[in-house]
Structure 1
C-alpha cells in the first residue's frame, strides 16, 4: 500500500523540475532516442548547450528522421547530432557500439534509456527478451562506456555520469523466480509458468541490483570520477508498450494514462537530471525519483 500512495503522490502532485544545468562543451549519448522520453531528453540537452548528442537507436532511418524533427524544432545545427546504430537484443551490436565509443575524443554522460515492455514471450541471445534487453545488454553497455567516461573525466576535470533508466514498478515485482533452487537466469528462461505481467518489473529490479553493485565496484574517486545511478521517469505517455490488446483493455489503459501519466517532455526531465553536470555525489549508486534520491529503498537481499 505504501508504494501505491507514493506512486499516486508522485504522479498527481509532483512535477519534475525543468532542467537548467549547463552542458556546454559536453558530449552525451542517449539510447532509444528516436521517440518518447529519449527524444525529449535530447531536445533538453541541446537547449542546455550540449556540444554533441549521439542518438543511439535500433533503426538508423528512424534516428535520422528524429534528427530532422529535432533540428526543425530546436533550430540547432545538425552538426550537434549524430545517429549511431545500437540493438540491445544483440550482444554483438552492443560490443560494436562500445568499440565505436572507445574511438571518441570525449564522452561526458550516457542515458541508458532504451528498453522493452511486452506481454509476449520472446527470446533473444538465448534469454527471455526483457532479460536480454533491459538487464544483460544494459549492463554490458555500461561496462563498455565506463572506460571512456573515466578517461574523459580525467582529461576534462569534469565528473562523468552514467545513468540507467529504471522503473518504480520494481517495488511491486513479485519475482517468484528468485525462489528457485538453481540459477535465477535459468528460471527466468523457462517459458512454462512465466508470469509475463511481472517480467518488466523484475527486469527493472535486476537492473537496480546491477547499478548498485557496479557503483560499489566503481566508487567515486580519482580513478573513477563517474556517478552511476538509476532513475525512474514515472508513468508517462510513451509508446514503450506496443502489444496488440483488446479494445476494452486498451480503453482502460487509455483512461488510466490520461488521468495519471506525465507527458514525455515532463518525464524526460528526470533523465536529464540524472546526468546533469552538477549532480550531487550522493546520487552514486542511488535510485532517483522525481529528480531526488528516493527514500523508499529496496534491499539487495530482496
Structure 2
C-alpha cells in the first residue's frame, strides 16, 4: 500500500514533465473526454500532432461544447476532434460506437479508457452495482469490441496500437469480499453487500485483474504483426470531478482535501499521455509516477485474477453473444 510519505511525494514533489512523444498521423479514442482528465488528455494529444481525436462521452451536447472551447483555446482545426456519443451503461450505445469506429475510422492507434464513475447511490446496471458495471463491464465491453480494429491497424501500418486504462493507486486499499458466491458481479447485485467507501477502490482492483488477463490473452492470440500493448496507470490524485454524484458532508470534506492535496487535471493528463505513448515495454504493466511499478500483492493474486476474468467474460458474453470470439 502506498505510504503517507509516498502520497505526499507524488502530490507535492514529483516532477511530471510535459509529454513529448509524437502522435502524428494517429487516431486516438478517449472515453470520458468532456471533462477532467479526459479533456486535458485531448488537449495534450492535439499539441502532440494527433491526426484525429475521438471525443467519446455520454452527453453529445456537453461534448460539443467542450470541443468548441478546446478549439477556441488551442486555435486548432475544427475537424481534428470528432465528438461521439458513448454511454458505458448501455450495451446498444457501446455496440453502435464500436461498429461506427470499425466502419468509419481508417485506423485506431490508441484507446484511452478514461471514463469511470464513483457512485454513491445503489443502482443495478448489467445485473450488478453501477460502479462495477461502468468501470469494469462497460469498459471491457467496449475494449473487447475495439480489439479487431486495433489489430487490423497494427497489420496495415506496422505499428503497435495501445490500450491504456486509467487506473488508481486506491486499488491497493480495496477490500476484496471474503465471500462472494460463484460470481462477484452477481454478489454485488444485492445492496446489503455494497460498501460505497470501498466500491470504487474495488472496481479499480478488478479492472487491474482484468487488464492483466487481457494482456496475456492478446499475446496468446496475436502474431507479431498484429500485437497490441495493454497497460494501466495511476494519474495521481487530481481534480477530476470523479465524485460529482456525492452530496452532503462527504462531498464537502472531499472538496477540502482535494483543494489542499490534489494535482491539476492537466498534470494527471501528462501521465495518461506518456503511458498511451509507451510501447511493448509496458505491456501488462502498471505505471505510477511516470515509471513501471510492481503490482501490490493484492493485484498479483493469479487465482483471484483468473476468477474475476472468467466472471467478467461470462458477463460480456451474456450481454453480447459472440463477443469473446474477438480474442480467439
Query: TM range, normalised to the smaller chain?
Result: over 0.9
- Cα distance in 2, alignment partners of residues 231 and 155 from structure 1: 28
Name 1:235's counterpart in structure 2: 237
Task: Write the distance in 2 (CA, Å) between the matches of 1:108 and 1:181.
Answer: 39
Which residue is equivalent to 1:53?
53
Secondary structure class of the residue paired with 1:189:
coil
Separation in structure 2 between the aligned mates of residue 224 and residue 204 of structure 1, nearest angstrom:
28
Structure 1 CA distance, aligned partners of 2:202 and 2:3? 16
TM-score, scaled relative to structure 1: 0.94
Give the structure-2-normalised TM-score: 0.86
User: Aligned partners of 2:246, 2:214: CA distance in 1, in Å?
Assistant: 36
**Distance between the aligned counterparts of 2:101 and 2:202, measured in 1?**
29
* Equivalent residue, structure 1, for 2:127: 126
Q: Would you say 1:169 and 2:153 are equivalent positions?
A: no
* Partner in structure 1 of residue 112 of structure 2: 111
- Spell out the pairing of 1:165-204 with structure 2 (5 A cutoff): 165-176=166-177, 178-204=178-204
Give the corresponding residue for 2:325: none
Matched residue, 1:299 = 300
> What is the RMSD of the two structures over their aligned residues, measured on CA atoms?
1.6
Question: Counterpart of 2:67?
Answer: 67
Query: Paired residue for 2:309?
Result: none
- 1:191–1:153 Cα change, 3 Å: same
Q: Please tell me whether residue 9 in structure 1 is matched to residue 9 in structure 2.
A: yes
Which moves more between the two structures, 25-34 or 288-297? 288-297
Question: Which stretches in structure 2 are left out of the alignment for 5+ residues?
Answer: 305-328
Q: In 2, distance between residues paired with 1:271 and 1:242?
A: 21
Range with greater deviation from structure 2 (189-198 or 128-137)? 189-198
Give a deviation string over 1:12-68, Cα, whole Å, max 9, x none: 221322111111111111010011100000000000000110100101111100110
Q: Which moved more, 1:232-241 or 1:205-214?
A: 232-241
Give me the whole-angstrom Cα distance separating, in 1, the residues matched to 2:81 and 2:294: 36
Using the alignment, how far apart are the partners of 1:122 and 1:16 within structure 2? 38
SS at match of 2:18: coil
Q: How far 1:185 sits from its partner (Å)?
A: 1.7
Equivalent pair of 1:230/1:287 in contact (CA under 8 Å): yes
The separation in 2 between residues aligned to 1:226 and 1:186, in whole angstroms, is 31
CA contact (8 A) 1:23 1:49 kept: yes
1:188-214 Cα deviation digits (max 9, x unpaired): 221114211100011111010110000
Q: Determine helix, strand or coil for the equivalent of 1:179.
A: coil
Consecutive unaligned residues of structure 1, counting only runs of 5 or more, are none
SS of structure 2 residue aligned to 1:107? coil
Alpha carbons of 1:149 and 1:198: their partners in 2 closer, same or farther (altered >3 Å)?
same
Is 1:3–1:171's contact at 8 Å kept on the other side of the alignment? no
Alignment-derived partner of residue 284 in structure 2: 285
| C-alpha contact 2:127 2:185 (8 A) present in aligned 1 | no
SS of residue in 1 equivalent to 2:116? coil
| CA deviation after TM superposition for structure 1 residue 243, in Å | 2.7
CA distance in 2, matches of 1:210, 1:108: 21
Change (3 A) 1:7 1:283: same
Q: How many residues are treated as equivalent by the alignment?
A: 298
